[in-house]
Structure 1
Amino acid sequence: MLSSTIRRAWSVVSLTILVSVGTGLSTADAATYRVTGADSRGLAIQSEPRVGHVIRYVPNGTALNVACQINDGGQVDGKVHKGRPFTTWDRLSDGTWVYDWYMSTPTVGADGYSPGVKRCGATSGVPPVAAGCVDWPASKFLQTPLTRAANSGAGYAWQNGSYYDEGFHKGCGSATTMNQHYALDLGMKLGDPVLAPGGAGTVEYAGWAPSDWRTCGKYVVIDHGGGWWSVVCHLDQVKVRTGQTITDNTIVGTVGGTGGFAPHLHFSLMRNAKITPSGGVYGGQSARPRHMRHLGCTAGHYDHITKGQKVCH
């Protein structure tokens, strides 16, 4: 989905940040400011208001839509204001973050905020994670698991099946079941190609789910390192084998309805799960999809996935 060529392009192209679906913010709440004073690499656009979560860099002069500010983010470059660490960050209208020091927003006051810029509030539009579950880490690659071929070339699908804690989407941290609280169902056609939502990794299991997991039908489990796995279920065809190394562009299978369902794509993310000798996944924690990048619909990322959302390739 996110080819290396396109990812490189993202790091050098000057973009005006637009609204992405699922952020809970709109351009009506935003004002446009410009990047100023950044070094030759540019200003880092990050998925969290702290260092180490870089999505891409944009050069000086780039116009960005600032929706709100916080003053309790991370400190960058040792910047100090009024004798205190400078921790003011701007949340953009697509849900990403930039360090305010390098923006043309009004000078930050003693309270850590620019006059006239809205304060974000505690949750910034993202609901708290369910008890016992975890967020997928912003530092790890995450992509929508469909391609531009989805739904007869439409390049998108609707999250129109079971949502969090509905149907078979149960369990945050059970030691004996396949925790699927944050699993998602995307409406797709039989035979549509499927990518691993976690991008590159190693195939932990590929084939028919064993008897106690039979509702998954044919499924693929990918190990993305650090204890993080992704799972895609109900496949019509499995295109990879156990032990295979894949990239973010590897087609791991095609959409089906195996396991007793109408064709659709069920996918989930987990941390520190285990697998039985016969290939059943259990234990660990269900992980909420966060910062999921996409190429379609003007490109960008979904800060989190909402019920009934349109999801682009």
Structure 2
Amino acid sequence: MTESPHTAPATAPGPNGRTERRRLPATRHPAVRTLLPAVVLAVAALGLTAPARAATYQVTGADAQGLAVQSEPHAGHVLRYVPNGTALDIVCQVNNGDQVDGRTYGGKPFTTWDRLADGTWVYDWYTNTPTVGSDGYSPGIAHCGDSAGLPPLAQGCVDWPSNKFLQTPFTKEANGGAGYAWQNGSYYGEGFHVNCATTNRMNQYYAVDLGLRQGDPVLAPGGPGTVLYADWAPAGWETCGQYVVVDHGGGWWSVVCHLSTIKVVKGQHITDSTVIGTVGGTGGFEPHLHFSLVQGASLTPAGGVYGGRSARPRHLMHLGDGGGYYDTITKGQKVWY
């Protein structure tokens, strides 16, 4: 997988609750080239590894259902349950998540959560980590840094609103029916994933690359909206190949690049289940899914996206692995449809 460019030239023109969405057509799109499984691509080909871990601990004291593994340090975003005795690779902690089961410690609500190596979360009460101190952290375990365990927001960028629909933009057909992909290729601020708020370029600091196969169906990450552009990228944006820009309302757009085929047209109103195209490598790359989110951007007359502010993806809804949300996508993370 190769990192994705898509920056307009410095001289580019410029002004002075989701429904079930995975019912796909029976037709399968044949792969143009045989790819290694996504996990092999992520680990072997690019040398990506899971985030460094602090230590391994075990689940303890949970009820018969087990401990809920959640997509963020808040109740109500369960991905799966794990039984007592399960080993967990804990990277860091936050001390201001949700209180669960009315637990208190030192006369205060217990709000300590553990971030796992795959980017998911568990409530610390039900692990055998060292007893938390008065600051709400276990001695010897790193602090995640902020309330969501995310790096600071890059200057000039914005967060996609957590109350505005956002979904993983692929389907259960992904990677031969595996239903998941690995974050693969450039990450936030890497390679050509740059710019937060330039006025004459494409701002895509928080663009995401996912390892998918040629021909896999693609959805719009922002769900329902109106197609603003659906064609080959114009001069200055050629490295996007065939791309689709969707307006999701309120000045929020999504951009999907490198498509092998496009299934929508300009002006079309789409839903969260509309297949907008298929994965490809147009623009000069190995096939993969590249998408970015932006607020307040503009289009040149020819169809090039510029200006606005790159948006960090937050609260991406997914259906696979029990369903839930990803509050963000971390480097090398496994992402379900």
Measured against the shorter chain, the TM-score band is 0.5 to 0.7
Structure 2: which 5+ runs fail to align?
Answer: 1-17, 23-48, 64-68, 127-131
**TM-score of the superposed pair, with normalisation by structure 2:** 0.62
1:305 matched to 2:327? The reply is: no
Q: Given the alignment of the two structures, is residue 229 of structure 1 paired with residue 277 of structure 2, yes or no?
A: no
Distance 1:98 1:139, change over 3 A: farther
Letter in 2 for 1:233: C
Residue 138 of structure 1 and its aligned partner are, at CA, apart by 2.3
- Where does the alignment leave 5 or more consecutive residues of structure 1 unmatched? 7-21, 37-44, 104-108
> Shift of residue 27 of structure 1?
11
Q: CA offset at residue 173 of structure 1?
A: 1.1
Aligned residues: 285
Change over 3 Å in CA distance of 1:258–1:134 after alignment to 2:
same
1:239 maps onto 2:256 in alignment: no
Q: Name the residue aligned to 2:29.
A: none
Is the Cα contact below 8 Å between 1:275 and 1:282 reproduced in 2?
yes
Displacement of 1:30 in angstroms is 6.4
Residues 174, 5 of structure 1: alpha-carbon distance in 2 compared, 3 angstrom cutoff:
closer
**Aligned residue among 304, 307, 311 for 1:287:** 311
Of 112, 131, 134, which residue of structure 1 is paired with 2:158?
A: 134
Alignment partner of 1:304: what SS?
coil
Task: Give, in angstroms, the shift of residue 86 of structure 1.
Answer: 6.1
1:162 and 2:209 aligned: no
Structure 2 residue aligned with 1:145, among 164, 169, 176? 169
Please say if residues 180 and 335 of structure 2, whose CA atoms lie closer than 8 Å, have aligned partners that are also in contact.
yes
Partner of 1:276: 300
**Residue 181 in 1 paired to residue 209 in 2?**
no
Structure 1 Cα separation of the partners of residues 273 and 20 of structure 2: 9
Whether the 8 Å CA contact 1:292–1:301 is kept in 2: the answer is yes
Matches within 5 A, 1:190-229: 190-198=214-222, 200-208=223-231, 209-229=233-253
Indicate which of 142, 145, 166 corresponds to 1:123.
145
Query: 1:139: how far off?
Result: 2.2
**SS at 1:173 equivalent:** coil
1: CA distance, partners of 2:334 / 2:120: 19
Assess if the C-alpha contact under 8 Å between 1:89 and 1:97 holds in 2: no
Is 1:267 the equivalent of 2:291? yes
Q: Which amino acid aligns with 1:290?
A: R
CA contact (8 A) 1:82 1:110 kept: no
State the distance in 1 between where 2:323 and 2:174 align.
16
3-state DSSP class of the match of 1:290? coil
| Structure 1 counterpart of 2:8 | none
1:126–1:304 Cα contact (<8 Å) kept: no
Q: Which residue of 2 aligns with 1:16?
A: none
> Aligned residues: percent identity?
53
CA distance in 1, matches of 2:318, 2:182: 14
What is the CA-CA distance between 1:112 and the residue it aligns to?
A: 7.1
Matched residue SS, 2:226: strand
Q: Deviations over 1:131-176 (max 9, x none)?
A: 2222323222322211111222222233332333333322111111
Amino acid at match of 1:145: P
Question: Post-superposition shift, 1:231?
Answer: 0.8
Change (3 A) 1:70 1:244: same
Is the partner of 2:205 in helix, strand or coil? coil
For residues 291 and 309 of structure 2, what CA distance do their matches in structure 1 show? Answer: 14
> How high is the TM-score relative to the length of structure 1?
0.66
Would you say the 8 A contact 1:203–1:220 is kept in 2? no
Per-residue deviation, residues 229-272 of structure 1 (Å, max 9, x unmatched): 21111112211222322222111111122223332221111122
**How far apart in 2 are the matches of 1:298 and 1:28?**
26
State the 1:177 CA deviation.
0.3
Structure 1 residues 91 and 310: alpha-carbon distance in aligned structure 2, compared to 1, 3 A threshold: closer
Relative to structure 1, is the Cα distance of residues 225 and 48 closer, same or farther in structure 2, using a 3 angstrom cutoff? farther
Write the distance in 2 (CA, Å) between the matches of 1:216 and 1:139.
Answer: 29
SS in 2 for 1:220: strand
